[in-house]
Amino acid sequence: MASLAITFMDVDIDTVRRSGKLLSRLLRKAYDLLESGERCGLKIANALEAEAWEHAAPAFPCNVGPDQVAAHLSPTDAEPADIRSARLVKIDFGVHVDGWISDAAFTCVFDENCNRVA
């Protein structure tokens, strides 16, 4: 029976590193968009996904969760995730580079009363 275990030697460290660096740059872009006043979740998601496709591929659709939405809300044309009134926003995204996935999330707090929650 073949083993499905992945060993350290099987890992392409350079590819994993590229994946992580790309994701880090994209999450920084999302943060910068939020800080500059962008409040349409769909625009943020589209920007991240478009740049991910330029260098690799998204691992999954970008998630933009305002306030009580914990996770897994992917904005669409029908539901663009208007986050203008959100007190906090969670961004979760991942990239896929040659079979290796990097995934991370962050929360941006707009209302200091939410600091304890975040």
Give the domain ranges of the chain.
Answer: 11-114
What is the reported pLDDT for 5? 65
Domain 11-114, CATH: 3.90.230.10
Residue with the larger pLDDT of the pair 7 and 43: 43
Q: How does pLDDT run across 32-82, given as a tens digit for each residue?
A: 999 999 999 999 999 999 999 999 999 999 999 999 887 788 999 999 888
Percent of the chain whose pLDDT exceeds 90: 74
What is the reported pLDDT for 2? 62
Biggest CA–CA distance in the chain, Å, is 56
Rounded Cα distance between 2 and 6, Å, is: 12
Residue 3 has pLDDT above 70, yes or no: no
> Strand, coil or helix: what is 23?
helix
The whole-model pTM stands at 0.87
- Answer whether 40's CB lies under 8 Å from 66's CB: no
Residue-averaged pLDDT of the chain: 91
In the beta sheet, which residues pair with residue 105? Answer: 92
What is the reported pLDDT for 4? 63
Q: Token pair 């200091």 is at which residue?
A: 112
Which residues lie below 8 Å from residue 81, measured CB to CB, with a gap of 6+? 40, 41, 42, 45, 64, 66, 73, 75
